[in-house]
């Protein structure tokens, strides 16, 4: 038995050595490089990355060109009625009477068609072109047009000035420039 077990061992050893010689003898020089293969298909897109931080604000651009001039607005239908007042009573008859060196005449003015809630200026213009400011009579406020553009007020000359008898133009002008006029005939008391 001992001879049987040694023999297969020697056989395996000799075959291993012979296989090594054969492999060594078969190894030759490296061959030429083969042709490049075709490109593979493109892979799937990756996920979207996170949003980057907000950049700083850029400089202000140049001013644009001026726009076209707009159409004129509608004409004002402002009007006034002047009523002479004597001793606090509306006479509704011209002429308005005045006393020398007094702040007269005192007249009541009714107006409409003015812009709402605007300050009013009242003046009297004579034939000679001189403009006399009129003052709102203290008990006759307001000196403004109402919320619908209408008003009722009393005025008299702002200074103790004697206006010569004659025909005058009373002008009421709103803060935005809307104006209306009416004649006032003055006579001496």
CATH of residue 90 = 2.60.40.2550
Instruction: Please give the tally of structural domains in the chain.
Output: 1
In a domain, 11, yes or no: no
∠ CA 97-103-106 to the nearest 5 degrees? 50
Q: Which structural domain, as residue segments, surrounds residue 184?
A: 79-188
Q: What is the pLDDT of residues 144-182, one digit of tens each?
A: 899 999 998 888 877 766 677 888 899 999 999 999 999
> In 3D, which of 121, 187, 184 has the Cα closest to residue 158?
121
In a domain, 71, yes or no: no
Q: What is the pLDDT of residues 24-71, one digit of tens each?
A: 766 667 778 878 878 888 888 889 889 889 889 889 889 888 888 877
Strand, coil or helix: 158: coil
In a domain, 149, yes or no: yes
State if pTM tops 0.75: no
User: Do residues 134 and 178 lie in contact, with contact meaning Cβ atoms separated by under 8 Å?
Assistant: no
């Amino acid at each position: 038995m001992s001879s049987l077990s040694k023999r297969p061992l020697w056989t395996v050893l000799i075959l291993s050595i012979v296989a090594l010689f054969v492999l060594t003898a078969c190894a030759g020089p490296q061959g030429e490089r083969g042709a490049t293969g075709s490109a593979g298909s493109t892979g799937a897109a990756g996920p979207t990355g996170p949003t980057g931080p907000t950049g700083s604000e850029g400089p202000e651009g140049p001013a644009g060109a001026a726009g076209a001039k707009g159409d004129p607005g509608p004409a004002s239908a402002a009007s006034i009625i002047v009523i002479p007042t004597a001793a606090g009573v509306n006479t509704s008859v011209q002429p308005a009477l005045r006393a020398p060196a007094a702040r007269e005449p005192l007249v009541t003015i009714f107006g409409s068609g003015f812009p709402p809630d605007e300050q009013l200026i009242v003046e009297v213009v004579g034939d000679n072109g001189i403009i006399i400011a009129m003052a709102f009579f203290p008990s006759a406020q307001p000196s403004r047009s109402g919320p619908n553009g209408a008003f009722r007020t009393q005025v008299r000359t702002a200074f103790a000035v004697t206006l010569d008898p004659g025909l005058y133009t009373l002008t009421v002008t709103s803060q935005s420039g809307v104006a209306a006029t009416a004649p006032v005939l003055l006579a001496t008391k």
